[in-house]
Chain A
């Protein structure tokens, strides 16, 4: 949803594409997560519409959602950096 509004199945496909197939969101999990995100106003649900005979609804990331996402990405990057740093340090000690 960072790039723009997506409907339910498009979110599932996008998650699979971005993770090289490692993240496989099931329908039940997707809507449970969307419910939580909607309740916390991180995501906005559009009006329902019909496409290819199926009812869809687009979900958009709100400014608050974008902020939370940025903070989470930063937190994960910091955690990854810390772990990588520790691994490098202990590898150097082991080699020495």
Chain B
């Protein structure tokens, strides 16, 4: 019974289509092939895991580059919102709620984050575009700060446009909300001196690098967020004429992630074609 559970857990690596078509059959073969000993079962389970990862990588390689980049933009939106929510929450924590708490902004940010995580791409895209254009650009009174706002919001706006016009395929998945648990835990556990949003982004980028062999989309999504941060840091540095080096780090992180993710993607696509 335990072996059956382990086998089922291993089979989850495969895509839903493969599991529906022959998951039970594969489980039967796995249990029979591994019934001689615990070592044989471990070996068979490992082979299922590796083959499932290879199958996932092949599915990604089969997908066109445009779709993959669009998916990465859609994935970048919840990362960006998570980054924003973490920094926003940390800033709010530092001042008394009764004094100046922007509850409405936090609710809108939170709702967009939840919807983006679940996969309601069109809703998030259209809402995000309206908010960015409406609040960020039209209502912004000063021409000088409008350019700064535009630079800060350019990449999030691009994410929203892609989400609205080229949303991810597949049904919304509420199970993705589980990802919030480690994110919230990290935000709560980190000392106040650490910039929460950046720490989260570094962690998600590491996950993106770990996922690279199977799926480079998360790494590309992180590169998009890093490039947006670099751009906004440049704009802030220019507007204040200070010598902040934050943009150098963010741009370097973006370039490194873009390079390794696209190199991996090209390699996967070439390997699939041969």
Contacts and interface: CB of A to CB of B under 8 A. Distances in A.
A92 to B, nearest CB: 41
A-side interface size class: 10 to 19
A27 interface: yes
B24 interface: yes
Contacts of A9: 28-29, 32-33
B32 A54 contact: yes
B56 interface: no
Interface residues of B, number: 23
Interface stretch (B44-52, B174-182, B200-208): B44-52
Contacts of B33: 9, 12, 26-27
A26 B25 contact: no
A7 B32 CA distance: 12
B40 to A, nearest CB: 10
B25 A28 contact: no
A14 interface: no
Nearest to B30: A27
B44 A26 contact: yes
Interface of B: 22, 24-34, 43-44, 46-52, 54-55
20 contacts: A7-B29, A9-B29, A9-B32, A26-B44, A27-B26, A27-B30, A27-B34, A27-B51, A28-B46, A28-B51, A29-B47, A32-B51, A48-B22, A54-B27, A54-B28, A54-B32, A55-B25, A55-B28, A56-B25, A56-B28
- Which 5 interchain pairs have the tightest Cβ spacing? A28-B51, A28-B47, A54-B28, A26-B47, A8-B29
